Amino acid sequence: MIENRPGLNILAHVTLILGVVVVAMPVWVAFVASTHTATDFSSGTIPMWPGPHLVENYRTMLDTGLSTSGTPPVGQMMVNSMIMALSIAIGKICISMLSAFAIVYFRFPFRGLAFWCIFITLMLPVEVRIVPSFQVVADLGLLNSYAGLSLPLIASATATFLFRQVFLTIPDELTEAARIDGAGPMKFFRDILLPLSRTNMAALFVILFIYGWNQYIWPLLITTEPQYYTIVAGIKRMADVVDGLPKWHLVMATAIMAMLPPVAVVIGMQRLFVKGLVETEK
Amino acid sequence: MKRTIFNGQLLPWLLLAPQLAVTLVFFIWPAFQAIRQSFLREDAFGINSQFVGMANFRALLDSAQYLNSLKVTAVFAVSVTVLSMGVALILAVAVDRMLKSQRPYTTLLVWPYAVAPAVAGILWYFIFNPTVGILPFMLDIIGYDWNHNTDKGDAMILVVIASAWKQISYNFLFFVAGLQAIPASLREAAAIDGAGPVRRFFDITFPLLSPTTFFLLVVNIVYAMFETFAVIDSTTEGGPAQATNIMVYKVYFDGFIGQNMGSSAAQSVVLMLIVISLTVIQFRYVEKRVEY
């Protein structure tokens, strides 16, 4: 702060409070809706405060789901989302750490070509190559499987670049010392590189978990059996009812549950989250 | 470049194998297929296909729907970028003044980053729902009849707000970081010279923030063009009357629902070219930023 201007401070606080309220408004409305019954909406006045049906609505969704929409219980969809998000996050970290290690610590023919192969994935988001990717997964017989849900999203140039950056900052003296002590490459990787890049892995994990959990178009396309539905893709199926109005109170309960795990991760690990966000954009 | 390296010819390839296998099978091969199909025309049953040269691309340029989609995409991307960056900048400047309350405000503003675009779409779809939503109810009081199922403008406003809402937190974090990187001494010097807060913002803060602004500009355009697929699909599905049919949505719609593989593939190729140019711009700029 440059000078003391109480008027500006009040203005700043008012702006921020307004911002927080506007940003939180949709979630508040959804939460309120999820604590009422369907009849509360048809009466014409929209409730502004939570009703008494919170436990009842959430339990219904978690245990039995919305059978009219053909979706399984929310509990099961959340398990599927969790499996998908964890496989994507852990898988991406593993394969990109290994490839970054190879690129930084070895000299071999076609190293540049391998680097370009990885780099090009940056330019091919799943939305762009969606039709042919679907054909590949169908040909491999991976429709309706956890492998089909996660494998096509697992290659990541950003994660490889991040680890490359981290490895480049690790002093050469450490490598020399390890070599003199007779450590082979894999021992060096396990005992020196892994522990040194632990915070980077954690920060990256936060970002990748959110990325994996929030996937939409891919699970929507390749899962046709309800037992593999993920929650984010499942919501759309619930809101799309052919006859009559969707059961908004139950759809909103599902929306709240769908955002709970990633939001909890961001708030609980805010420091790691900000670190991961800034690092992956370098 | 490392001075100390390990020897071995086979080991590095083994280490690279998983990443390269996934990249080849799920990225490069599909991209190659998209390029190949963009030059082919399949018959109605998908059995025979023949080489048609640039015909699919020429058909795109002649298609009123595709030209409309280009226009819709431009309007949508610019609106989302301006709205989310504008709001984020105002909030970031306000939070930059705070000393003690910076952290709680940041926490309260960053969480929407974690909300899936599809969920963000559903939330705003519900709020703007003509029969049960709160906002149409309020708009009705001031005499505006909101209906995004029939009105093109209303539908566009809905998808822009839903997409921008989710992106505010991201822009906010980067703007705050950018503001904190500006040396306080510059603003202090300006204050001593008699520049008021508004003048200081426009003459010092905003110009020095331009690297962050430019970076966010590219990121937001990429976001609006590609990652908002889920917002569109969970709300308007491209309608009414093509009013929100952005390019990524059209690729999916023509490919999966319209079953027009040649046209869909040609659209994919156009999108790839756009992503490639945006990535190049971003990387050029990142190189410059290092020297900044």
Contact A238, A25 (CB under 8 A): no
- Per residue of chain B (292 residues), what is the pLDDT tens digit? 677 788 888 899 999 999 999 999 988 888 888 888 888 887 666 667 778 878 888 888 888 889 999 999 999 999 999 999 999 999 999 998 887 888 889 989 999 999 999 999 999 988 888 877 888 888 888 888 888 888 888 999 999 999 999 999 999 999 999 998 888 888 888 888 888 888 888 888 888 898 888 889 988 998 898 888 999 998 888 878 888 999 989 988 888 887 788 888 889 889 888 888 888 887 776 555 433 3
pLDDT in tens, A44-71: 666 778 777 777 778 877 777 776 667 7
Residue with the bigger pLDDT between A5 and B13: it is B13
A253 touches chain B (CB under 8 A): no
Note the ipTM here: 0.88
Chain A: nearest CA to B214, how far in angstroms? 13
Which of B10, B25, B26, B290 should we substitute to test contact with A (largest number of A Cβ atoms within 10 Å)? B26
pLDDT at A243 over 60: no
CA A11 to centroid of chain Cα atoms: 35
The predicted model scores a pTM of 0.89
Which chain A residues have a beta carbon less than 8 Å from that of B109?
A: 16, 19-20, 23
| Angle of CA points A183, A187, A191, to nearest 5° | 110
What pLDDT score was predicted for residue A30?
A: 86
In order of A70, A280, B172, the CA distances from B103 in angstroms are: 43, 22, 13
- Report which residue type is found at B104: P
Which chain B residues have a beta carbon less than 8 Å from that of A139?
A: none
Contact A241, B140 (CB under 8 A): no
Other CB atoms within 10 A of residue A110 CB: 11
B49-88 as b/e: b if 16+ CB within 10 A: eeeeeeebbebbeeeeebeebbebbeebbebbbebbbebb
Contact B233, A215 (CB under 8 A): no
Give the 3-state secondary structure of residue A78. Answer: helix
Q: Which of 55-114 (A) contact B at CB < 8 A?
A: 94-96, 98-99, 101-109, 111, 114
- What is the C-alpha to C-alpha distance for residues B143 and B120, in angstroms, rounded to an integer? 27
What pLDDT score was predicted for residue A259?
A: 92
Q: Is B234's CB within 8 Å of A235's CB?
A: yes
CATH number given to B64-291: 1.10.3720.10
What pLDDT score was predicted for residue B290?
A: 38
Q: Is B30's CB within 8 Å of A155's CB?
A: no
- Report which residue type is found at A137: V
What pLDDT score was predicted for residue B43?
A: 67
Q: How big is the A-B interface in CB pairs under 8 Å?
A: 294
Nearest CA in chain B to A186: B11
Closest of A209, A16, A89 to residue B95, by C-alpha: A16
Structural tokens at position A188? 């060096």
Peptide bond into B240 cis (omega under 30): yes
Q: Which of A41, A236, A255 is nearest residue B233 as measured by Cβ atoms?
A: A236
pLDDT in tens, A168-212: 989 999 899 998 998 889 999 999 999 999 999 999 999 999 999
Which chain A residues have a beta carbon less than 8 Å from that of B169?
A: 23
Q: Which of A23, A41, A125 is nearest residue B109 as measured by Cβ atoms?
A: A23
Nearest CA in chain A to B251: A128
* All domains in chain A, ordered by first residue: 75-235+256-280 (1.10.3720.10)
Which chain B residues have a beta carbon less than 8 Å from that of A41?
A: 132
- What is the C-alpha to C-alpha distance for residues A81 and A219, in angstroms, rounded to an integer? 10
Which chain B residues have a beta carbon less than 8 Å from that of A152?
A: 22, 26
Q: Mean of the per-residue pLDDT values for chain A?
A: 85
A152 touches chain B (CB under 8 A): yes
In chain B, DSSP assigns E strands to: 40-42, 49-51
Residue with the bigger pLDDT between A237 and B104: it is B104
Chain A: nearest CA to B200, how far in angstroms? 11
What pLDDT score was predicted for residue A248?
A: 81
> Per mean pLDDT, which of A233-242, A262-271, B271-280 is the most reliable?
A262-271
Give the lowest-confidence range in A91-95, A256-260, B60-64, B279-283: B279-283
